[in-house]
A and B are shown apart, each in its own frame.
Chain A
Amino acid sequence: MEAVSVITGVAAPLKRSNVDTDQIIPAVFLKRVTKTGFEDALFHGWRQDPEFVLNQPAFAGAKVLVAGPDFGTGSSREHAVWALRDFGFAAVLSSRFGDIFRGNSGKQGLLAAQLAESDIEKIWAAVDEQPGREITVDLLSKTVSVGSLTVPFSIDDYTRWRLLEGLDDIGLTLRSEAEITDFESRRQGWRPKTLPVK
Chain B
Amino acid sequence: MTESRGLTLAEKVWNDHLVVKGEDGAPDLLYIDLHLVHEVTSPQAFDGLRLAGRPVRRPDLTIATEDHNTPTLAINRPIADLTSRTQIDTLRNNAREFGVRLHSLGDVEQGIVHVVGPQLGLTMPGITVVCGDSHTSTHGAFGAMAFGIGTSEVEHVLATQTLPLKPFKTMAITVEGTLRPGVTAKDIILAVIAKIGTGGGQGYVLEYRGSAIRNLSMEGRMTICNMSIEAGARAGMVAPDQTTFDYLKGRPHAPAGEDWVEAVEYWKTLQTDETAVFDAEVFLDADTLEPFVTWGTNPGQGVSLSENVPDPSTIIDPNERSNAERALEYMALTANTPMKQIAVDAVFMGSCTNSRIEDLRAFASVIKGQKKADNVRVMVVPGSARVRIEAEAEGIDKIVEDFGAEWRFAGCSMCLGMNPDQLAPGERCASTSNRNFEGRQGKGGRTHLVSPLVAAATAIRGTLSSPWDLEQSPELVTSAAKAV
Q: Are chains A and B native binding partners rather than an unrelated pairing?
A: yes
- In the bound complex, residues from chain B placing their C-beta under 8 Å from that of A35 are 44, 47-48, 51
One of B192-200, B256-264, B321-329 at the interface: B256-264
In the complex, are the beta carbons of B152 and A169 less than 8 A apart?
yes
Quick one: which of B63, B121, B123 has the most chain A CB within 10 A?
B63
Is A180 engaged at the interface, CB distance under 8 Å to the other chain? yes
**A192 partner residues in chain B, CB cutoff 8 A:** 33-34, 61, 121-124, 127, 253
Judge whether A78 is part of the interface by a CB distance below 8 angstroms: yes
CB-CB < 8 A to B52: which residues of A?
1, 168, 170
Contact with B along A173-190 (1 / 0, CB 8 A): 110100110011001111
A191 with B127: CB separation less than 8 A: yes
The listed residue (A34, A78, A172, A197) touching B43 by CB distance below 8 A is A34
Is B287 located at the chain interface by the 8 A CB criterion?
no
Task: Name the B residues within 8 Å of A1 (CB-CB).
Answer: 52
Q: Is A141 an interface residue (CB 8 A)?
A: no
Interface string of A25-41 (1 = CB under 8 A from B): 00000010111100000
- Judge whether B228 is part of the interface by a CB distance below 8 angstroms: no
With A173-B156, A190-B260 known as contacts, the answer to whether A179 contacts B127 (CB < 8 A) is no
| B contacts with A, residue count (CB < 8 A) | 46
Shortest CB distance A4–B (Å): 16
Q: Given the complex, which residues of B lie within 8 Å of A190, measured CB to CB?
A: 124, 255, 259-260, 262-263, 266
| Bound form: Cα–Cα A172–B155 in Å | 13
Q: Are A173 and B160 in contact (CB under 8 A)?
A: yes
Q: CA A197 – CA B29 in complex, angstroms?
A: 29
Contact among B19, B43, B83, B156 with A169 in the assembled complex (CB-CB below 8 Å): B156
B203 is an interface residue with CB less than 8 A from chain A: no
Q: Does A160 lie at the interface of the complex (its beta carbon under 8 Å from any beta carbon of B)?
A: no
Q: With a CB–CB cut-off of 8 A, which chain A residues contact B60?
A: 193-195
Bound CA–CA A78/B156 (angstroms) = 15
User: What CA separation (Å) do A174 and B162 show in the bound complex?
Assistant: 10
Residues of B within 8 A of A36 (CB): 47, 51
CB within 8 Å of A: which B154-190 residues: 155-156, 159-162, 164
Residues of chain A within 8 A of B101, CB atoms compared:
194-195, 197
Task: Answer yes or no: B304 CB below 8 A from chain A CBs.
Answer: no
Residues of chain B lying within 8 A (CB to CB) of residue A170: 52, 54, 155-156, 159-160
Give chain A residues whose Cβ lies under 8 Å from the Cβ of B86: 33
Q: Of B47, B155, B161, B266, which one neighbours A180 at CB under 8 angstroms?
A: B161
B164 contacts A169, CB within 8 Å?
Answer: yes
Chain A residue, CB-CB nearest to B36 = A194
Instruction: Please name the residue on chain A nearest to B54 by beta carbon.
Output: A170
Interface string of B47-81 (1 = CB under 8 A from A): 11001101000011111000000000000000000
10 cross-chain CB contacts under 8 A: A33-B43, A34-B44, A173-B159, A176-B19, A176-B29, A179-B19, A189-B262, A192-B122, A194-B62, A197-B101
Given contacts A33-B90, A188-B263, A192-B253, 8 further A-B contacts (CB under 8 A): A35-B47, A173-B164, A176-B19, A180-B31, A180-B161, A188-B266, A193-B253, A194-B101
